[in-house]
Amino acid sequence: MPGKNVSTAGPLSPDEVALRDELRANVQKLAGEIAERNMWHYPQLNAAADFIEASFSRAGLRTRRDSYDMSGQTCHNIEAEIPGSMQGATASQPSHLPIVIVGAHYDSVFGSPGANDNGSGMAATLALARRFAGAKPKHTLRFVAFVNEEPPYFLSGEMGSLVYARRCKERGDKISAMISLETIGYFSDAPNSQTYPSPGLGVFYPKIGNFIGFVSNIKSRALLRRVIMLFRKHAKIPSEGASLPAFIPGVSWSDQWSFWQQGYPAIMVTDTAPFRYPYYHSSNDTPDKLDYDRFTLVVSGMEKVIEDLDKL
Ligand SMILES: [Zn+2]
């Protein structure tokens, strides 16, 4: 779904400026202060988990740790839920309602402070959760921070999001949409700043990395189309979308994959990471590399998408 490009509109609104400040502070905390956070830096991984949980709580959200054990060390996915108000739900059985999940991984790859990957996605999840904290959605809304997305857990049974998605399936949760926010803060206007996993795609899509990407597998394409349509209604930043076979490099590279494994519709929002970002998975993935204005426009666009998804 190559898109007609909108040009990025003028200065940020006061709301957007506040959102930008919040995103910058979250990225700074995760990638600047805590920095590398993974099983080799276990205290930092837990410091990130504590920060995320405190941030959800401060927003007034009910949080839950979805924990599991890995070689004697406990790992935590962290969930904040806003129960849906649709008819038929009861306080004791809110999970029978359709659930919309917005999530991001909070670990960073070995050797990297992970500002864009995935301080950006996590910062956005926290900011969005705070914006919906007072809402009365029809659907149940969940904001989830996933642990252990990066190798060697990537696409394995020890990946945090797969543990989480399996438990959702076992409980019978009806997940109508899962949105994975993965590396969403880097943009460039330079010629040929955008590459693709296969040369064929480069024929249809832009060669300038100034857009935000929406990606799904073939089975989730109805959700992908709906999200892109809603995003383009509001967003002030160009977008491109593609439903592709999951084996194409990059398509499965985040937590949406875990939900596909359990048969749930899921999509990824991404700046395309390794196909654009020069500091991907390196020690130079630091907070100063992000384009906070355009990152903000992505997140404010996603706020509208989540609002509109709830009306359907
Ligand atoms: Zn990542």
In the reported structure, the alpha carbon of residue 119 is separated from the centroid of ligand 1 by a whole-number distance in angstroms of 9
Phi, psi (degrees; rounded to nearest 5) at 67: -105, 155
Evaluate if residue 114 carries a pLDDT over 80: yes
C-alpha 89 to ligand 1 mean position (Å): 35
Query: What pTM was estimated for this model as a whole?
Result: 0.94
**Euclidean distance between CA atoms 243 and 62, whole angstroms:** 34
Sign, CA dihedral 148-153-159-162, equals positive
> How far away, in angstroms, is 97 Cα from ligand 1 center?
29
Residue 249's pLDDT band (cuts 50, 70, 90): confident
Instruction: Give the pLDDT mean for 75-93.
Output: 80
Average pLDDT of the residues of the chain: 92
Q: What pLDDT is recorded for position 222? A: 96
pLDDT digits (tens, 9 = 90+) for 132-166: 999 999 999 999 999 999 988 888 889 999 999 99
Query: What would the pLDDT profile of 44-70 be if each residue is shown by its tens digit?
Result: 999 999 999 999 999 999 999 999 999
pLDDT band at 6 (very low <50, low <70, confident <90, very high): low
Dihedral pair phi/psi, residue 96, rounded to 5°:
-80, -10
pLDDT on residue 37? 98
pLDDT attached to residue 204: 79
> Distance, CA 87 to ligand 1 centroid (Å)?
37
What is the C-alpha to C-alpha distance for residues 223 and 271, in angstroms, rounded to an integer? 19
The rounded Å distance from CA 281 to ligand 1 centre is: 9
- For position 4, what pLDDT does the model report? 52
Residue type, 235: A
